[in-house]
Structure 1
Amino acid sequence: MEACKTVSTCTPEVNQGTHVFDILGYSKHRGMGNDADSCIRSGIFTVGGYDWTIRFYPDGYDERYKDYIAVYLELLSKSTKVRASCDLRLVDQCTGFSSSVHKTGPRVFSSDDSTKFAPQTCDFKRRSEIEDSTYLRDDRLTIECILTVIKKAHVTETKPFPKIDMPPSDMAEHVGRLLEEKEGFDVSFSVGGETVEAHRFVLAMRSPVFKAELYEPMREARIMGQCITIEDMQPAVFRALLHFIYTDSLPGKHLEGDKDTEMLRLLLVAADRYAMERLKLVCQSILCEDLNVDTMATTLALADQHSCDKLKNACLKFIEMSDAMDAVVATQGFKDVKVTCPSLLVDALEMRRKFRRA
C-alpha cells in the first residue's frame, strides 16, 4: 500500500501594537519618592482587545533601587489572563532610533496578581546611564513599548502533501536500444555458425565472466578485431542471453510448450556459465512453476548439475508431496537420471519415505 502523506499548519493569531510614551520635563518629575504609588502612568492603549498602560518611576521603585529608573508595562483589563510578550525600549533623541532595554518573552499576564507587570525586576536602567546619554535631550525622555498579544492558534484543515510521482526507471529501455539499433558494436561472436555483435562494456558490466574474457590484458589484445567463438550454445539461447543482459528481462515472446521449457533450461545453463545470478534465479522461478510429472526428473538433474539449490529443493518437495510417484518413475527423464545421477534418486526416495512416515 502506498504511504499517504498529509499536512496541516498551526499559525498563532497575534496582534501587535507600539505605544510611545513621551516624558517631557524629565528633571521636574524627580523627587516624587520611591514608593509603589510614586509613578507616572501613560495614557491607556489597547492591543489585542486588552487595555494596557506604562508605569514610569523616576526615583526608582523602592529605596534599594534609588539609583535606577523603573519602567513597567501593566495589564489594566480586569479579571482576565492574556498571553503576551513585550519589548521596552528607550529612544535616542538624536537619531530617533530606539534600543531595547528589557524583553519579556511570551508568558501569561494575569490581572489578579503581580504577573500583570513586566518586567518583574526594579533595575530597568541606571539613572546615570540615561542622564549622561542621548536618551535624554532637552529634558525629554521617550519610552517605546512594542507589545504582542498572542491568541489561540489557528490550525488549518488537513490536506494532501504536495506530491510529484516518481517515474519508473527507464535505464533498461535505453540500454536495450543499443542492442536494437545495432550501433557502436565493438565485439563479435560466432555462435553455431551465426555472427552476433554486441558492446564489450555492456557485457562486462553485467557478467564477471565476460569482463574477464573481454578486458583481461592478455586476452584483450588477442580478441581485438577478431570474432570470438562460443562453443556448445545455440544461437537462439545466446541471443536470449544478450537480451537479458541489455534489458534485464527475458524476450517478450516465449516459445510454446515443451520448447519453452527447454529454452529456459538452456538459458539457465548459459546463466550459470557466465555467472549471471539474477538470470539464473529467474529461470529457476519459471521452471519451478512448470514442475509436473513429465518435467520433474529432468529439472531435478539440471538443478543438481548447476548448483541451483532452490530449484533442487523445490523438485524434492514436489516428489514428497506428489501422489503420482509411479508416473514419475515411468518417465524417460527419470530413467535418464537413474543412469546419470543415481544419488539424486536416493535423496528423493529418502524424502518420500520420511513423508510417508509422517
Structure 2
Amino acid sequence: MAGERVPEKITSSTIFVETTATLCLEVTNYLQLTGMGVSKFVSSPALRVGGYEWRIDFFPDGENEDCAGNASAFLTYLSQDVDVSTKFRMRMLEKKGRLPPVASFDVSKRVFSSGPYKDDSWGHYKFVDKAKLESLSQLGDGCFTVLCDVTVIHDSLPVELPFHLERVLGDGRGTDVTFHVCRQKFHAHSPLLAARSPVFEAQLYGPMADKDMGRVKIVGVKPFIFETMLHYIYTDSLPPCPDEGGYSAAAMQHLLVAADRYGLDRLKLICEEDLCKRIDAETIATMLALADQHHCKRLKDACQELFPAAARGRTRGKRVNSAPTPIVTTKLRRGLRSDAKLRRVLRSDKEGYVEMALP
C-alpha cells in the first residue's frame, strides 16, 4: 500500500476557509485481500489536511455482517480534542485508469469528532460489490486505487506552527538536551522547554542549573508519559493514541501527575476534564485521592457530585477503599508533590547526568 500526496489547494470566502487534498490508497492485488474477514481493514498512510491527520480504511470483506457481499471504505479522523467540519468524496478506480470508475459517490458533508461519543469515521458500508472486484481482478491485474477528496472547513486559517514544531521534535535537528527516562532517550530544545514549563526553566537556566545540561535523567515518570508530555509542550495538543480505544484512565492519571509536576497547567486541565468523564464506582476512590493530592478542584467536584457518599467514605452503605492505586503511592507522593511551593533539587550523579527530583 502506498499513498501519494496531492498538493493542498486553499480557497477562501468572506466567512470560511477551505483546505482540500486527496488521500490515496493503492490496492495492489485485491484477490490476496479477500478472506481477511469482516471488520478487517487495510489503511492508507496518514495525510495531514487542514492541520489534521486523516487516512482511508478499506474493508475488503465489509465493515460488518450487514454489508452483504460488499467491500466498505471510510475516511478516518486521527487527530484529537477538536471537532472538524468537512466535505469529502470517495471513489475507486482501476489502477490502469480505465473508465468509468469502479465505484463513485457524491460529496458528503460530515462533522468528525473525538471523545467518548466520537464520530471519527465516515464513509460507505456498501462501497463496492465484491463480485465486481473479483471479476475485474480476474480480467485484469487486481490493482485498484481508492481515492478520497477531503475538504476541511475552517472559520479561520489553520494554525500551522504546531505542525512545524512537531516536525522539529521528530527529526531532532538543533536539539541541545537529552533526557534519559528509564532506558529511553528523548532529545529536545531547552529554550522551548524553558518557555513552556517553569520547572524546566529552573532546571535548565536557574541559579542551581549545572553548567553541562546536555544530559538530564528524569525519575518518577514513565517513558510513554514523558514522550506524550513532550509532544504537548511542542504542539499544545496530545498525540494520536496508538490504542484504538484512546488513552486509558491510568495513562491520563499519570499524565495529570506529570503535568502538575512540570507546571503545565493547561495540560493538567485537559487531563482533569477527561478524567471527569471516567468517574464510576470502580474509580471513585482513585479519582478522589488524585484530586486531593494534586489540587484538582474540578475533578473533586465531579466526584462529589456523582458520588456524594464517597466524600464521607461510604458508597451504597459500603466502606469505600480509600487506599490510593499505584500512581499515588508514597513513592510518588515524594517524587511528584504538587504543592505550589515545590522544592527543586538539582544534583549531578556519578554517570555525569543531571538528575531532577522533587522530594
Normalised by the size of structure 2, how large is the TM-score? 0.44
**Structure 1 or 2: more helix by fraction:** 1
Larger Rg: 1
Using structure 1 for the length normalisation, give the TM-score: 0.44
